[in-house]
């Protein structure tokens, strides 16, 4: 048994998980925290981490460091994803994180990010049949993992990210019809490139902030409860209803919707359209939601390495 920590430095959100873990399939969450940092702000035009975003990231990580220091942590794993994969000045950020917070950050490839997400999701969906497709919609990228058993059978990492698409296409608030059409077309074009080695799995599972937020909206959740999010079913028709509502009102009004996390009111529409595009393109009429994902996968991977 060990107390371990995992930190996911996402393009939109930094997430901390501290858990007591006995085996690779079970653990007890001791502490969990999310902080929206918008690290990938401005990536469409600049492909670099802006000074303000860097400072927001450091503020979040200092808070995480303080929390970790109050607990008997055996080890912590800190990983970066899409924004840090692509940022031209990522070394500046990594050096600042090391200097101020003492963290060594591992930058995951899109494929490694997908594998870790599957590892986390599999904590919830332990049954190997039927086969499932996991979609991990992030701020800077979307990963697809097809599983027909314990291990992934195919992995795709795409540049479909909620922040990137929002900044590039949705310039108006609320968005204009031509902006929505252009965004939907871009999503469909990207999805057309995906071609798995066998028919798409019948079961679709979604993880990460866009999907869990849509579940929270569907449940009209005033206080986020992971245990209610895990396994929740979203139908294609319900997602369409939510998208229609989101697209017709400005971000300020969206922020008042029950279940919508503060700080996500601008990018939730682009993220939702990615999910809607996935379901429309590949013929899914329902989605099962997993609060477990990359962060939990990082933790399990760390536990396995500690045990070796």
CA separation for the pair 297, 120 (Å, rounded)? 4
Residue keyed to tokens 């999805």 = 191
* Domain ranges across the chain: 2-110+302-307, 124-290
Degrees, nearest 5: CA angle 268-210-238: 85
Q: How far is CA 166 from the centre of its chain?
A: 16
Domain range 124-290, CATH class? alpha beta
Q: CB-hemisphere CA count at 13 Å for 216?
A: 23
Q: What is the mean pLDDT of residues 161-183?
A: 93
Distance separating alpha carbons of residues 214 and 275, to the nearest angstrom: 10
- Cα separation, 287 vs 213, in Å, equals 13
Query: Within 10 A of 217 (CB to CB), how many other CB atoms are there?
Result: 23
Instruction: Please write the tens of the pLDDT for every residue from 210-221.
Output: 999 999 999 999
Q: Do domains 2-110+302-307 and 124-290 have the same CATH topology?
A: yes
- For 174-178, what is the mean pLDDT? 95
Q: pLDDT tens digits for 178-231?
A: 999 999 999 999 999 887 766 778 889 999 989 999 999 999 998 999 999 999
Q: Say if residue 130 is preceded by a cis peptide, omega within 30 of 0.
A: yes
Distance separating alpha carbons of residues 122 and 118, to the nearest angstrom: 6
For residue 68, the model assigns a pLDDT of: 95
Average pLDDT over residues 108-130: 83
Q: Which of 25-29, 88-92, 225-229 has the lowest mean pLDDT?
A: 25-29
Q: Which fold has domain 2-110+302-307?
A: Nucleotidyltransferase; domain 5 (3.30.420)
Closest listed residue to residue 155, CA positions, set 111, 190, 116, 189: 111
Closest listed residue to residue 196, CA positions, set 240, 259, 131: 131
Q: Cα separation of 146 and 249, whole Å? A: 35
Is the pLDDT reported for residue 150 higher than 60? no
Q: SS3 sequence, the chain?
A: CEEEEEEEECCCEEEEEEEEEEECCEEEEEEEEEEECCCCCCHHHHCCCCHHHHHHHHHHHHHHHHHHHCCCCCEEEEEECHHHHHCCCHHHHHHHHHHHHCCCEEECCHHHHHHHHHHHHCCCCCCCCCCEEEEEECCCCEEEEEECCCCEEEEEEECCCHHHHHHHHCCCCCCCHHHHHHHHHHHHHHHCCCCCCCCCCCEEEEECHHHHHHHHHHCCCCCCCHHHHCCCEEEHHHHHHHHHHHHCCCHHHHCCCCCCCCCCCCCHHHHHHHHHHHHHHHCCCEEEEECCCHHHHHHHHHHHHHHC
Q: What is the share, in percent, of the chain residues with pLDDT greater than 70?
A: 96
How far is 56 from 9, CA to CA, in rounded Å? Answer: 12
Query: Is the CB of residue 160 less than 8 Å from the CB of residue 187?
Result: yes
What does the alpha-carbon distance between residue 2 and residue 270 come to, in Å, rounded to a whole number?
39
User: What pLDDT band is residue 105 in, cutting at 50, 70 and 90?
Assistant: very high
pLDDT confidence bin for 272, thresholds 50/70/90:
very high
């Amino acid at each position: 048994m060990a107390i371990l920590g995992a930190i996911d430095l996402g393009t939109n959100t930094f997430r901390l998980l501290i858990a007591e873990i006995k085996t690779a399939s079970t653990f007890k969450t001791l502490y969990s925290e999310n902080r929206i940092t918008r690290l990938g702000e401005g990536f469409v035009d600049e492909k670099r981490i802006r000074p303000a975003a860097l400072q927001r990231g450091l503020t979040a990580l200092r808070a995480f460091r303080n929390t970790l220091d109050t607990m008997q942590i055996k080890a912590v794993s800190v990983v970066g994803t899409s924004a840090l994969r692509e940022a031209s000045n990522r070394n500046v950020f990594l050096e600042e994180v090391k200097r101020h917070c003492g963290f060594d950050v591992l930058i995951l490839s899109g494929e490694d990010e997908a594998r870790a997400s599957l590892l986390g999701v599999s904590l919830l969906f332990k049954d190997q049949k039927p086969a499932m497709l996991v979609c991990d919609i992030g701020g800077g990228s979307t990963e697809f993992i097809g599983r027909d058993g314990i291990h992934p059978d195919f992995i795709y990492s795409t540049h479909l990210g909620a922040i990137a698409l929002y900044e590039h296409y949705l310039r108006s608030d609320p968005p204009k019809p031509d902006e929505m059409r252009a965004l939907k077309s871009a999503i469909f074009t990207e999805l057309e490139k995906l071609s798995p080695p066998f028919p798409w799995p019948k079961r679709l599972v979604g993880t990460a902030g866009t999907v869990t937020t849509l579940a929270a909206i569907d449940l009209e959740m005033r206080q986020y409860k992971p245990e209610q999010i895990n396994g929740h079913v979203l139908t294609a028709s319900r997602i369409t209803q939510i998208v229609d509502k989101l697209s017709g009102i400005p971000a300020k009004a969206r922020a008042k919707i029950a279940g919508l996390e503060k700080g996500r009111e601008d990018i939730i529409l682009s993220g939702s359209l990615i999910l809607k595009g996935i379901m429309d393109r590949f013929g899914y009429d329902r989605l099962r939601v997993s609060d477990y994902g990359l962060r939990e996968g990082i933790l399990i991977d760390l536990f396995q390495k500690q045990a070796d």
